[in-house]
Amino acid sequence: MSLFGTSPDESGAASTPAKSRQTLFDDPSPANGSQSSLFADDDSTPGGSPWGMPTPKKASKGEVISTLLPGGDTPDSYVDVFETVQSTEFGQSGTVDVAGMTRVMNAAKLGADQQARVMNTIAPAGNSLRRNEFNVFLALVGLAQEGEDVTLDGVDERRKKLPQPELHNLATAPEGLPSTSELASKPPQRPATPPTQSVPTPKSRETRPRRESIIDEDPWGSPALHKGHNHGVPQRAPAPHSTEGAVPRTNGSFEPSERTTSNFTTESVVESTNGSRESARESRPTPNNLWYSYDGNSPTSYTSGLPTGLEPNAFAGGLGDDPHRPPVSQNRAIGGGGLTGNGVEENILVTLLPEKEGVFMFQHHNYQVHSPRRGSKVVRRYSDFVWLLDCLHKRYPFRRLPLLPPKRVGADSTFIEKRRRGLVRFVNALVRHPVLNQEQLVVMFLTVPTELAVWRKQATISVQEEFTGKALLPGLEDSLPPTLNELFETTRSGVRKSAEVYINLCTLMDRLAKRNEGLAADHGRLSTSLMSLTDASHATYAIDTNDVPLLNEGLLTTAKHVTDSQSLLQDEARAWDEGVLEDLKKQRDALVSMREMFDRRERYDKDNIPHLEKRIKSNEDKLANLRSRPDGVKPGDIERTTEAILKDKESIVAQHARGVFVKECLRDELTYFQDSQYQNFTPPHLSSSPLTLATMDHAPIPNAETSFADLMALEKVPGKDNTYMSKTPAWAAGGSWNSFGGHVYAQACWAAAQEVPEGLVVHSTHGYFTLPGKIDRPYIYTITHIGDTRYTCQRSISVRQPRRASVRDQEAQFAITDADGEMGDVRFHMICSFKIATPTLSAHQETNWGQQYNSSLGGKRPADFDICPDIDMPWYEAHIQKFPEHKTFPGLEIRKADCEPYNKGKPPGEYRQLHYYRRVGEMSRAEPNLHAAAHLYASDRNSLFLVSKAVGFGDRLAKIASLGHSVVFHTDADEMLLEGDGWWTQEAWTTRSAGGRGLHESKMWSPSGVHVATTLQDGLVKKAEPGTVAMFEGFGEAFNGGDAEEGGPETSVDRAQLRESAKL
């Protein structure tokens, strides 16, 4: 363990993300054939709805596609097309990407709507296709050219005589989209809201026997559909329907007629194409909705499909997702008896870009919207957010839509920062909503890499209310409680009062934070005044200056304490502003959005049914009169009157159904609102740490899911040569404020690697720790060129941190503006040597390594051992047994082998400890120095604690801190890459300890048994003298909350002692 982190703290358990679920073919089906449980509840979730019925397990759509058309069953033309496309830049490693598929569809002259259908069927997640899947894709293209149904059923029926697609000029590049400058010159476009029309349902055409339908996805529908239905498990995987019972959409395509009931808790377990178990919502079509091409059932639903109405080349926009990405879960399943298993919520980061855009007097700020879960970074301006909310208001007027921060002309930096935080709240509220997060507009807003105004000009955008075209099924209205209107009124009154209170709370908390800032400023002035007195002391007391030095010393001491108080007040104000105030604003926004939802219902939930009934009665009387006198009737009068009566009756049915849907929607929004308040607001405020002394919160640390590449992320500091800034907060042992030394050790090497010629790999590193690092501010790395030769180069790295903590959101990375502040002293210094790859003419290493541990390890594999503890000491091991959720370490998965049987009875010099480690997340082969940094990161894990355990100090440590650390790599780049799931091994021991110092040595072994690196670390390891307080004394009680479990008082550990210990 290094100087940079020794103080434990309480860390919450990371919940396992809930996985998404999907249906067999991700296709919607007619309502009358839906398969679901009675109330569409997930019976696989413990404690779910008591009304749930078992949902049958279905096969994976990916498995069906990959086995539908094997290579031997296809004509030679399919093979030729695959080879042609795969040989271009659109194919790699035996696959064809989305751009290649788009080229084929353009060569087949398919329209945008046909392309959308093909893509939704074959690759809704935008993933690449292998040969067998590409055969199915070509068959779908052929069916589209022949005017047949573009479904997997159609391919299955034509297996003996597959369609031959006609492809024109496949070898030539497709026409590109208009240039950005050309598109940008067009005026901005606002979404058009077409009038609501009643679309008649055409007769269904039976082309073949109907199969069992796939359950539709409707997170807010009603449970009435499946009452009394037989939900037996099918004998074979069902296939999707054709356009039987379909209704035309606005762009001329067809959709199946849909069910209107709720599936918001219905889920089925399926196997994904990579063998992992996934859970996904059942799909549901949205009638007359441009965004129906988006398939919410995909394991990566946030990038599934593309909007119907895009131009043919729109598929090449890079909107597909990595097929190997882990499935993204829905944040929650709403209703049905409480909360279900919920994963880690998605956090969208919004960062203000430093440069403005636009012409003089019309400049605007841009924001980078980063979705770590989606792996996307897009640039948006404030007007883009306004446009998105405007569209959502038109499409979802009866849902709880988040609030946007206000706009102001001539805004200052304070207002801009408040608006950025408001945008963070807005976009996170969208992605955490179970319906809005699947809206294609939201998906495109977060993932389209081009300027949104350009994309809006390319797409045909038509936004309609979500209930348009939905049919009301029997029993749905009866399933709603008759007292819903009374419940709505009661809730509305409560929401109004609560919203007003929270608005006042936010105002008061803002005032408190500003008063603290004012107090801090006054403390600074007081300190300055006290120090200025020392300049006048000699002149003031010139008659006898003997006591002046003592007087000045007292003044300076007082000034120092006042300065310390100023820092505490500033930290407290910052914690209130970034923590408590932001939480209150989230609550305020949620309540105000509920209030506005009820207000919109009062304005828009109206009908003219009484007027239509009167007009129908009048027309019926007129029709009876016309029929009673056949003579003298004008041609067409009877037909026109009859048609008017039918239209009015259809309008009454549609308006009545809309009213039922509005009630159902409001009920489910209330359920989600209440559940989200319990889940998102209360838990963070239920626990506190004894180590949180002066402030109410501190910067979050990375969790165990943070990839090593994200942990090491750097940004070049503008205007400063050879200077880089860390983007992600460092991890801290036990949740303290002091960062893990291995982080700065590894990142310093990675920063130096940015300043060496390509092809050079780190050979040796020598680092010296001088001051502890803090996790609430970034590291600033300044690289100095020492010398370059033909084969090697050396770099010196000095590491500093800003004197002031970073001002940022709890969920955001460090901003580049943090590098502009005043820097503190050097906290770490390193010298790195890099070399080019050289051929190995001869090599030797220790033979039969590891055999001496076989008997003591008992044949266990690395994965069988426990996660390495934050602090490798007896008291912390006992703490982990009681609180296993406190095992968190980002970047690498490190496990500690149980070497006690081997070490039993051996002297300190023969004491051994094995650590197994492997990467978290992907790391590019093209960056070998990043892989080397991972080995450096692992080399410092609990290093000096081994010395303490070997010599038997136990918990009686007075001081432990790294002083110097050296690592030498013995291999070229290829042998140090962390690839796959193989476990690397660190074999560690100590050879010397004396005078309060200890020496830690280790060897790093690859999974194949190659000795890759050797480490040597020197540090302070001092035992506490008898009668003195040990370094970690009382931390065990602090972690466990004293006697809180038994209802007793908090721990009585001296807070000043804890503060001093945390600084070590």
Report pLDDT for 1013.
Answer: 95
pLDDT at 277 over 50: no
Average pLDDT, stretch 75-99? 79
Which of 853, 676, 666, 832 shows the shortest CA–CA distance to 760?
832
Which amino acid makes up residue 396?
Y
Average pLDDT, stretch 631-640? 80
Asked whether the beta carbons of 67 and 130 are under 8 A apart, the reply is no
Which amino acid makes up residue 462?
S
932 confidence band (pLDDT: 50, 70, 90): very high
Which of 465, 459, 309, 456 shows the shortest CA–CA distance to 392?
465
Runs of H (alpha helix) within 845-942: 854-857, 874-882, 900-903, 928-939
Burial of 470 per CB tally in 10 Å (0-12, 13-18, 19+): buried
Contacts of 887 (CB under 8 A, 6+ apart): 704, 866, 867, 868, 869, 870, 880
Q: How far apart are CA 21 and CA 298, in angstroms?
A: 8
Residue 695 CB coordination number (10 Å): 18
The residue with greater pLDDT, 598 or 1060, is: 598
Asked whether the beta carbons of 891 and 920 are under 8 A apart, the reply is yes
Which amino acid makes up residue 478?
D
Asked whether the beta carbons of 668 and 327 are under 8 A apart, the reply is no
Give the containing element (helix H, strand E) for 441. Answer: helix 440-447
Chain-centroid distance of CA 10 in Å reads 24
Which of 754, 800, 753, 760 shows the shortest CA–CA distance to 779?
800
Which of 392, 384, 347 shows the shortest CA–CA distance to 366?
384
Of the ranges 64-78, 184-198, 203-217, 404-418, which one carries the lowest mean pLDDT score? 203-217
Residue pLDDT, tens place only, 786-844: 988 888 999 999 999 998 888 665 556 888 888 888 899 999 999 999 998 777 767 78
Question: What percent of the chain has a predicted confidence (pLDDT) above 70?
Answer: 68
Q: How far apart are CA 554 and CA 562, in angstroms?
A: 12
Asked whether the beta carbons of 270 and 58 are under 8 A apart, the reply is yes
Residue 198 CB coordination number (10 Å): 12
Report pLDDT for 73.
Answer: 72
Asked whether the beta carbons of 183 and 437 are under 8 A apart, the reply is no
Report pLDDT for 133.
Answer: 87
Which of 118, 97, 96, 95 shows the shortest CA–CA distance to 165?
118
Report pLDDT for 668.
Answer: 86
Contacts of 884 (CB under 8 A, 6+ apart): none
The residue with greater pLDDT, 937 or 177, is: 937
pLDDT at 312 over 80: no
Q: Which of 327-341, 425-439, 683-697, 869-883 has the highest mean pLDDT?
A: 425-439
Chain-centroid distance of CA 509 in Å reads 29
DSSP 920-988: SS---TT-HHHHHHHHHHHHTTTHHHHHHHHTT-TT-EEEEEEEEEEEEE-S-GGGG---TTPPEEEEE
Which residue(s) pair with 1052 in the sheet?
Answer: none
Which of 706, 712, 708, 773 shows the shortest CA–CA distance to 738?
773
Q: How far apart are CA 835 and CA 790, in angstroms?
A: 9
Burial of 2 per CB tally in 10 Å (0-12, 13-18, 19+): buried
328 confidence band (pLDDT: 50, 70, 90): very low
pLDDT at 152 over 60: yes
Average pLDDT, stretch 344-354? 84
Give the containing element (helix H, strand E) for 430. Answer: helix 413-431
Give the containing element (helix H, strand E) for 560. Answer: helix 548-575
Q: Tokens standing for 104?
A: 């084929």
Q: How far apart are CA 684 and CA 195, in angstroms?
A: 46
pLDDT at 385 over 80: yes
Q: How far apart are CA 349 and CA 345, in angstroms?
A: 13
Q: What are phi and psi of 477, to 5 degrees?
A: -65, -40
Q: How far apart are CA 48 and CA 43, in angstroms?
A: 6
Place of tokens 């030729």: 80
pLDDT at 180 over 70: no
DSSP state, residue 499:
H
Residue pLDDT, tens place only, 997-1044: 889 999 999 998 899 999 999 988 887 777 665 666 555 444 444 333
Nearest-Å Rg of the Cα atoms of the chain is: 34
Q: How far apart are CA 950 and CA 910, in angstroms?
A: 9
Q: How far apart are CA 664 and CA 672, in angstroms?
A: 12
pLDDT at 211 over 80: no
Chain-centroid distance of CA 971 in Å reads 37
Residue pLDDT, tens place only, 533-576: 999 988 998 888 888 888 888 899 898 888 888 888 888 888 88
Up-side HSE of residue 208: CA atoms within 13 Å toward CB? 13
DSSP 387-424: HHHHHHHHH-TTS-PPPPPP--TT--HHHHHHHHHHHH
Which residue(s) pair with 378 in the sheet?
Answer: 369
Average pLDDT, stretch 919-930? 90
Whole-prediction pTM value? 0.40
Coarse DSSP helix, strand, coil percentages of the chain, rounded to the nearest 5 percent:
40, 15, 45
pLDDT at 882 over 70: no
Average pLDDT, stretch 913-922? 90
Of the ranges 17-31, 334-348, 904-918, 954-968, which one carries the lowest mean pLDDT score? 17-31
Distances (CA, A) of 555 to 337, 526, 527, 563, 1014: 65, 11, 9, 12, 52
Give the containing element (helix H, strand E) for 783. Answer: strand 780-788
Contacts of 189 (CB under 8 A, 6+ apart): 453, 456, 457, 461
Runs of H (alpha helix) within 632-706: 637-680
Asked whether the beta carbons of 307 and 35 are under 8 A apart, the reply is no
Report pLDDT for 782.
Answer: 96
Which residue(s) pair with 1002 in the sheet?
Answer: 988, 1015
936 confidence band (pLDDT: 50, 70, 90): very high
User: What is the total residue count of the chain?
Assistant: 1064
Which of 388, 380, 518 shows the shortest CA–CA distance to 463?
388
DSSP state, residue 105:
H
Q: How far apart are CA 190 and CA 192, in angstroms?
A: 6
Q: Tokens standing for 615?
A: 């007009």
Q: How many helices (DSSP H) and strands (DSSP E) are in the chain?
A: 26, 21
- The 3-class SS string of 4-61 reads CCCCECCCCCCCCCCCCCCCCCCCCCCHHHCCCCCCCCCCCCCCCCCCCCCCCCCCCH
